[in-house]
Chains A and B, each alone.
Chain A
């Protein structure tokens, strides 16, 4: 409680100074709304459902993209981690594709999918697949060789070898990649919406700016901050979750 109080001193005084200086006319920048206006605009957007709808759209798309990236990243990463030859074949291609900014694929994705979920999710998936892929390759390589020998001596078929030995052994490391990508998914989804896709939080944000609803724009920005904070909180807890669930297997 005391820590919470101490940590709140700076943002609280910042808000007070901000509110006071814009009310007294000390601060006249158009881009800066008053905190009270921001709260009011946020409240209105929450009440009429537009904010929640946009949040749902953004999160849904980010999740779809992340899910695609997870499946592809873990599957490909496992193969590349287990089969050195496959890694030598695919390695250069991966290194060539990985540094391309996902956003650069937006025009291409637009042509392929048109406006909507497909456009956004595909760009998110492209951005998210690399951390998961790279971490999975490393995680699978780092599996204790003895465990693979145990699997071999028990003549576990390939599917059981994956589900009973390889994935549980690599899971904790893969999880790190998942957390990194989850954060990326939200960033990329909002970016695609700001630049191109007419839906979700990013689009609402740019719409508010262009219609000079500065209070609303700020409210959505604050909302995004909260969303990112909550996402991070959820991820750091979920991170321990599946590992614990996997244990009894």
Chain B
């Protein structure tokens, strides 16, 4: 709780400017169709980067490459100096479709414990760690329930808890709150900000919601064009901790929204026909 009150910039350890994640000239093709074209992007340690783009702009493809679940056809992705070649426990991914990502035959507790079992945490220690994470995510009362007995918001909390249990250095989130109602979404936005600030985890957060991106991010990256190539990066200089009312009413917030919106609209149309012709 304390850490959040401080400015995250001040909390960042020395050497924070060295990029934790660096993507250079990343291209991904599905068959003859180019999805991502020469993407360049980097993220500092502990930075919260939001990626926005219209649907079909290759956001999820990019995130899957970062998770090691998708492969890059060209270019390089370095995480903490090592090239990403496959999935790793260091990079947790939170899927949008939480109901498919949870193990339906395991209770909430069992689902979170899966990460600990993967890390070979001794059975005796697991219980305490799980209990702490569940308390943190407000799931203590539901620990013995199965995923299909929970609401969408609760299920997504379980998935977040499971990802935290794997103690990642990078948190990848693929429109995690897209399927939730507005109230639940706002609560989870604040919870995730607090978690990430407490644990200094670098985060790449994908959304199609501009306001969500500005509200959460230290930086917002726009993925535009077809295939996605244009990456516009914008530092979000809004005070932390952020507040659902005051932050969103801040004049700077609205200015960011305005500029990003224009950029998104601009990028959507004219690039497409030219590029398609090349394939």
Contact = CB atoms under 8 A, between A and B. Distances in A.
B89 A155 contact: yes
Contacts of A158: none
Interface stretch (A92-100, A116-124, A241-249): A241-249
Interface in A147-201: 147, 149-150, 152-156, 160, 164-165, 168-169, 171
Contacts of A168: 103, 105
Contacts, number: 61
Interface residues of B, number: 24
Interface string B88-124: 1101110101001101011100100011011000000
Contacts of B101: 146-147, 149-150
Contact of B69 (A144, A149, A169, A248): A149
A168 B111 CA distance: 13
A153 B93 contact: yes
Given A164-B114, A246-B105, A249-B110, A153 B88 contact: yes
A165 to B, nearest CB: 7
B97 A155 contact: no
A222 to B, nearest CB: 41
Nearest to B89: A155
A249 B117 CA distance: 11
Contacts of B88: 153, 155
B107 to A, nearest CB: 7
Contacts of B69: 149, 152-153
A247 B105 contact: yes
Main DSSP-derived SS at the B contact region: loop
B207 interface: no
A9 to B, nearest CB: 44
Contacts of B106: 247-249
Interface residues of A, number: 21
Contact of A153 (B92, B107, B117): B92
Contacts of A146: 95, 97, 100-101
B130 to A, nearest CB: 14
A246 B110 CA distance: 12
Contact of B118 (A160, A169, A247, A249): A160
13 contacts: A147-B101, A150-B103, A153-B67, A153-B93, A153-B166, A154-B118, A164-B114, A165-B103, A169-B105, A171-B105, A247-B105, A248-B110, A249-B106
Interface of B: 67-69, 86-89, 91-93, 95, 97, 100-101, 103, 105-107, 110, 114-115, 117-118, 166
